[in-house]
């Protein structure tokens, strides 16, 4: 397609009548360059429409200025929301992001983490619970890793940026209890995050003298649907459901619908993550806001810090969680 060869730093140098190195200095905004040369070079750059070749740059500096973002399922809106804060912050410090949907990549063969390393990413942020623990372990010896919204893989000395899952789940559960619910079921999710949320739920229940009921589920809508369907079909069905995340909660919403249970009149449902799905007025899901933006921002900060600093200790940043009450929760039906 190219009309001519695309101009290189060498062409610019020739045109400006200077050396390659000088151009490089100007490009990098080095202060010790005479004004005359600087403008000459800048002119040449404009005239030729020069664009720096990041690939060559990366090879030379052994710095790609790219970070890998590993996530599980782009269809989970929480990931997408987080991505916004994450990439925006990374961009501002000159880092671009290489997104890898680990499920998709793995399916067509090839380890997602390996792919990132081959591309010489300067660091990796793992978003949410993924299934690449083994490879991440190895990767951690090569590049800094920060975990966003997950604790796994643990023990790598990576930084961890999460919300207060115990707190959030507690708030969700207590909200139901305060509304008068005594039969509240929890749809548990995967990973340590799943455990913490379960823990929050259990704590709230036992403090209220209620019996916890936990149903294992997943992080997708389907799994939420399946789990909720089972729970709600029972004769002693709960009057409230605290789900692992919004997706699962929406699955629960569907399950309720299919069983002819009205929400919130017959059954209350609480999600987690406060994604835009929850805000869709037509769903209007009560959900726990886990500070998605703040998480993305902090993860980006810490990663870039590690990339050009030498931070070695694993830090944990815990963003507060807060409940957002919408229209899927209310007092239980009087039986």
Partner DNA sequence: CTGTTAGCGCTTTCAT
Partner DNA sequence: ATGAAAGCGCTAACAG
Q: Are 274 and 115 in contact (CB under 8 A)?
A: no
Tell me 102's DSSP state. H
Sheet holding 123-127, edge to edge: 96-101, 66-71, 123-127, 145-148, 159-163, 316-319
* Secondary structure (DSSP) of 185-222: EEEE-SHHHHHHHHHHHHHHHHHTT---EEEE--SSHH
When binding is defined by CB under 8 A, the residue of 18, 127, 196, 250 that contacts a copy of itself is: 250
Nearer to DNA, 52 or 284 (CB): 52
**Taking the complex as a whole, how short is the minimal distance between the CB of residue 233 and a copy of itself, in angstroms?**
15
- Give the residue, chosen from 72, 105, 163, 290, that forms a contact with a copy of itself under the rule CB under 8 A: 105
Would you say 122 and 93 are in contact if contact means Cβ atoms under 8 Å apart?
Answer: no
* Contact call for residue 155 and a copy of itself (CB under 8 A): no
Q: What are phi and psi for residue 214, nearest 5 degrees?
A: -120, 130
235, interface contact from DNA, a copy of itself, none, CB < 5-8 Å by kind: none
Q: Tell which one of 17, 21, 30, 88 touches a copy of itself (CB under 8 A).
A: 88
Q: What letter would DSSP give residue 275? A: -
Kindly state whether residue 245 participates in binding a copy of itself, applying the rule CB under 8 A.
no
Q: Is 233 in the site for a copy of itself (CB under 8 A)?
A: no
Q: With binding defined as CB under 8 A, does residue 140 bind a copy of itself?
A: yes
Work out whether strand 145-148 and strand 96-101 pair parallel, antiparallel, or are unpaired.
unpaired
Residue ranges binding a copy of itself (CB under 8 A):
1-3, 6, 51-56, 58-59, 64, 74-75, 77, 80-81, 83-84, 87-88, 91-92, 96-99, 101, 104-105, 107-110, 114-115, 117-120, 140-144, 221, 225, 250, 253-254, 257-258, 276, 280-283
């Amino acid at each position: 397609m190219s009309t001519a060869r695309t101009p290189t730093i060498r062409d610019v140098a020739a045109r400006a009548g200077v050396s390659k190195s000088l151009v490089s200095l100007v490009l990098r905004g080095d202060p010790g360059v005479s004004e005359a040369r600087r403008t000459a070079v800048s002119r040449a750059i404009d005239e030729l429409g020069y664009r720096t070749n990041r690939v060559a740059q990366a090879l030379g500096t052994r710095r790609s200025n790219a970070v890998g973002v590993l996530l599980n399922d782009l269809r989970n809106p929480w990931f997408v929301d987080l991505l916004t804060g994450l990439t925006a912050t990374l961009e501002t410090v000159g880092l671009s992001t290489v997104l890898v949907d680990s499920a998709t990549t793995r399916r067509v063969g090839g380890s997602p983490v390996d792919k990132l390393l081959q591309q010489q990413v300067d660091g990796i942020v793992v978003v949410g619970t993924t299934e690449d623990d083994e490879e991440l372990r190895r990767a951690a010896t090569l590049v800094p890793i920060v975990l966003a919204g997950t604790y796994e893989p643990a023990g790598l000395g990576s930084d961890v940026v999460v919300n207060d899952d115990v707190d959030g789940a507690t708030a969700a559960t207590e909200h139901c209890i305060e509304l008068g619910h005594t039969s509240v079921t929890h749809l548990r999710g995967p990973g340590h995050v799943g455990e913490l949320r379960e823990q929050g739920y259990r704590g709230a229940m036992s403090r209220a003298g209620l019996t916890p009921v936990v149903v294992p589920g997943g992080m997708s809508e389907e799994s939420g649907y399946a789990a909720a369907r089972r729970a709600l079909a029972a004769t002693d069905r709960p009057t409230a459901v605290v789900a692992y995340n919004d997706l699962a909660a929406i699955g629960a919403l569907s399950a309720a619908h299919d069983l002819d249970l009205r929400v919130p009149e017959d059954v209350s449902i609480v999600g987690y993550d406060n994604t835009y799905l929850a805000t869709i007025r037509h769903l209007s899901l009560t959900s726990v806001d886990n500070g998605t933006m703040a998480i993305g921002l902090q993860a980006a900060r810490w990663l870039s810090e590690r990339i050009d600093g030498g931070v070695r200790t694993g830090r944990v940043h815990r963003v507060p969680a807060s409940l957002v009450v919408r229209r899927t929760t209310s007092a239980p039906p009087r039986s």
